[in-house]
Amino acid sequence: MIQNLSEFKNGKILLVDKPWGWTSFKIVKKIRSSILNATTSKDKENFKIGHAGTLDPFATGLLIVLTGKYTKKVNEIQNYKKVYTGIIKLGCETLSSDSETEEYNFSSISHITPKLIKNISKKFLGKIDQYPPSFSALKIKGKRFYEYARKGIKIVRKSRRVKIYKFHILKIGIPYIKFFIECGKGTYIRSIAQDFGKALRSGAYLLSLKRERIGNFSMNCSSIELKISKEFPCYLLD
């Protein structure tokens, strides 16, 4: 049930369970359209809405959408710790470091054991340096990284220091590794997957990813469902 527009302008927090294949921008656009179409207010031009941390199209899970005055909370929420679960596939790579592009550069995994995987995982704790993926939304000279990557243009990527609070191996079924990670702002899980493969002397990419939590926000929070779209659940935080 959509409430009147003034309440959304005063500020609301929406929790979206983002499906596979949707961009975060498309989700926000769909919610904005649904809210405005369901209200009779004439002052629709100044309605603000945005998300508090993007999810790649091929990732699923929690996307926080803020409306009205609460859009000022974006930076605050982006600084919260984030929790993900996902699956890494060993033995090959992709240009995007996830399932968006085709597998290539196949490599041997015969030397990889569960013990080696668990030992290597310990190196991915604390402050680590990583390079953002070529297929990312970061900008250089006014263009997104992925715009260069899709044209086959190589760019110089600078490493960034991020913090990993927890990194657990949940299940091993080589070539697949299921993991749990709690990390700080700016961490690229695709880069974690790629670097994990390199540490194992093999190729690797992020096969799937789900964001479980941002700070204390999760899909388990007490909330009211909004009938925004049949394609994804959207809840209004109490």
Q: Which residues are catalytic?
A: 56
Question: Are 214 and 64 in contact, with CB atoms under 8 Å apart?
Answer: yes
Question: Are 181 and 125 in contact, with CB atoms under 8 Å apart?
Answer: no
Q: What is the DSSP string of 86-123?
A: EEEEES-EETTSBTTS-EES----TT--HHHHHHHHGG
Question: Are 139 and 145 in contact, with CB atoms under 8 Å apart?
Answer: yes
Question: Are 32 and 9 in contact, with CB atoms under 8 Å apart?
Answer: no
Dmax (CA) of the chain: 66
Give the contacts of 128 (CB within 8 A, at least 6 positions apart): 161, 162, 163, 164
Phi then psi for 235, rounded to 5 degrees? -125, 140
Instruction: For residues 58 and 42, give the distance between their C-alpha atoms in angstroms, rounded to a whole number.
Output: 37
